[in-house]
Chains A and B, each alone.
Chain A
Amino acid sequence: MCGAPAQTPTLPAGVDLETETVIYGVVSKDGAPVPSAYVRLLDASGEFTAEVVTSATGDFRFFAAPGDWTLSVLHKDGKVRQQVHAAAPGLTEASLHLR
């Protein structure tokens, strides 16, 4: 989001961002965060890798690896599909807007 301060995900204790590749972000619709959305992480071939449900604040988080990924979101009020590239271990942010 333009001008918004950089957000960082809440991570479990002991997660080493030197080695973990964390893909994270917020699912929103019309500017408001969407809780209980189903977010899928698909690998470079489009195959399912993991799925999480967004928190009360619309947050999601995956522990992946460097490379190309696709995020696919389902919710009763909309869906969205978006590519994301994680260049290296550390944090990669993706904002997803339901349509």
Chain B
Amino acid sequence: MARADVLVSADWAEENLNTPGVVFVEVDEDTSAYDGGHLAGAVKLDWKTDLQDQVRRDFVNKEQFEALLGAKGIGNDDTVVLYGGNNNWFASYAYWYFKLYGHENVKLLDGGRKKWELDGRELSKDTVQRPATSYAAKEQDLSIRAFRDEVLDSIGKQNLVDVRSPDEFSGKLLAPAHLPQEQSQRGGHIPSALNVPWSKAANEDGTFKSDEELRALYADQGLDEAKDTIAYCRIGERSSHTWFALHELLGHQNVKNYDGSWTEYGSLVGVPIEKGA
């Protein structure tokens, strides 16, 4: 997979805002960001209400995903270009989620909303309504999604990559520092996990580092390419960013995202936890 197949520049996006068959989709942690101005013609997905089951802790099922994309006017043949705030954390999460349900043509806007704003590019407040489609999703591709038992079995055997900040990895913080720290679960990390913060894969303007820089980063941190890899963070969004870097940009095989992540693992009874750097 080449970088150009999965990542588009802000210039490309600006030139293709009106291209038929290209749908821009904004996904933010701050779900009100879209309403304050978005790329012209872009639709919004709410990661909490649209992409999460509202009762169980899990994703929406295949039928719900089909209904969601149909209502948003996204067709199976459309090229979906995802972007968002937080250096594309939630856009990366949505990218991985679209791949999970088998959407063929998905791309990320490099740098997301941040780069777009820092460049001073235009945002629109117009209401966007696309004609509904009849969308058909595939069954979840579980070759890219890890669950807790597999994570436990991987300790000391496979690459576990904890992409949270060093202070979360050590147990000093329980959540990213833009969120309150009062959480129920224990602090620390999964034994044998490498700590390669997602931010090391990105430049300060939110764009991804070059393939050469990314290769050097993971090699220097001790990622063994001969082994399978599971990435995790707190709720699975930052680890989607690293999953994207490893699986989509560098072409590593057998890379999974553990969306249960630390909120699940750190609440499990009896599992091993390591603290400290």
Q: Enumerate B152-184 residues with CB–CB distance to A below 8 Å.
A: 165-167, 172-173, 175-182
In the complex, are the beta carbons of A74 and B176 less than 8 A apart? Answer: no
Q: Enumerate A40-99 residues with CB–CB distance to B below 8 Å.
A: 40-41, 43, 45, 47-53, 61-65, 72, 74-76
Q: Which residues of chain A are near B86, meaning CB under 8 Å?
A: 51
In the complex, are the beta carbons of A51 and B178 less than 8 A apart? Answer: yes
| Proximity bits, B103-139, A CB within 8 Å = 1, else 0 | 0000000000010011110000000000000000000
Contact of B179 among A63, A65, A72 (CB under 8 A): A63
In the complex, are the beta carbons of A63 and B165 less than 8 A apart? Answer: no
Contacts beyond the supplied A14-B180, A41-B178, A47-B197: 9 A-B pairs with Cβ under 8 Å: A12-B180, A16-B182, A38-B118, A40-B204, A41-B177, A50-B179, A51-B86, A52-B178, A65-B173
B261 at the interface (CB under 8 A from A): no
In the complex, are the beta carbons of A74 and B118 less than 8 A apart? Answer: yes
In the complex, are the beta carbons of B180 and A62 less than 8 A apart? Answer: no
A4 at the interface (CB under 8 A from B): no
Q: Interface size (A, Cβ < 8 Å)? A: 28
| Proximity bits, A15-33, B CB within 8 Å = 1, else 0 | 1100110000000000000
**Shortest beta-carbon distance, B105 to chain A, in Å?**
29
Q: Interface size (B, Cβ < 8 Å)? A: 27
Chain A interface mostly: strand
Find the residue from B86, B114, B177, B205 having the highest chain A CB count within 10 A.
Answer: B177
In the complex, are the beta carbons of A63 and B181 less than 8 A apart? Answer: yes
How long is the Cα–Cα vector from A50 to B87 in the complex, in angstroms? 11
In the complex, are the beta carbons of A63 and B178 less than 8 A apart? Answer: yes
How long is the Cα–Cα vector from A66 to B227 in the complex, in angstroms? 38
In the complex, are the beta carbons of A64 and B173 less than 8 A apart? Answer: yes
Contact of B119 among A49, A52, A62, A76 (CB under 8 A): A76
